Amino acid sequence: MGNFLVWVVWLAAAFACLGSGVAVVSVTNPFYSALALIGNLGSLAVLFLLLSAEFVAAAQVLVYAGAVAVMFLFVIAYLGGQADAPWAGGSSWQRWAAVIAASALLLEIVMVIGLKAGGRLSDEADVRESFGSPAEIGRFFLTDQLLAFEITSIVLLVAAIGGVILGAHSRAGGVPREEGAGERTLPERAPSVPATSVGAGVPER
Partner 1 sequence: MRGPDTTWYLAVSAILFAIGTLGVLLRRSPLIVLLSLEIMLNSGNLALITFARQGGNLDGQIFALAVMAVAASEVVVGLGLIVAMARRRLALDVDKLTTLRG
Of 124 and 188, which has the nearer Cβ to partner 1?
A: 124
- Look up residue 137 and give its amino acid: I
Distance of closest approach, residue 181 Cβ to partner 1, in angstroms? 19
Contact 60, 41 (CB under 8 A): yes
> How far from chain centre, in Å, is Cα 101?
22
Residues 8-67 that bind partner 1 (CB under 8 A): 10, 14, 17-18, 21-22, 24-25, 30, 33-34, 37, 40-41, 44, 47-48, 50-53, 55-56, 59-60, 63-64, 67
Alpha-helical (H) ranges within the chain are 2-26, 30-50, 54-59, 69-79, 92-117, 134-142, 146-172, 179-201
Residue among 119, 135, 174, 186 that touches partner 1 (CB under 8 A): 174
CA distance linking residue 172 with residue 189, whole number of Å: 18
Which residue lies nearer to partner 1 by CB, 63 or 181?
Answer: 63
Residues numbered 80 to 99 that lie near partner 1 (CB under 8 A) are 82, 84, 86-90, 95, 97-99
Distance between CA 179 and CA 204 in Å, rounded?
36
- Nearer to partner 1 (CB atom), residue 146 or residue 195: 146
Rounded Cα distance between 23 and 38, Å, is: 11
Measured in whole angstroms, the distance separating CA 89 from the mean position of its chain's CA atoms is 24
Residues 98-157 that bind partner 1 (CB under 8 A): 98-99, 101-103, 105-106, 109-110, 113, 121-122, 124-127, 131-132, 136-137, 140-141, 145, 148, 151-152, 155-156
Smallest distance from partner 1 to CB 191, Å = 29
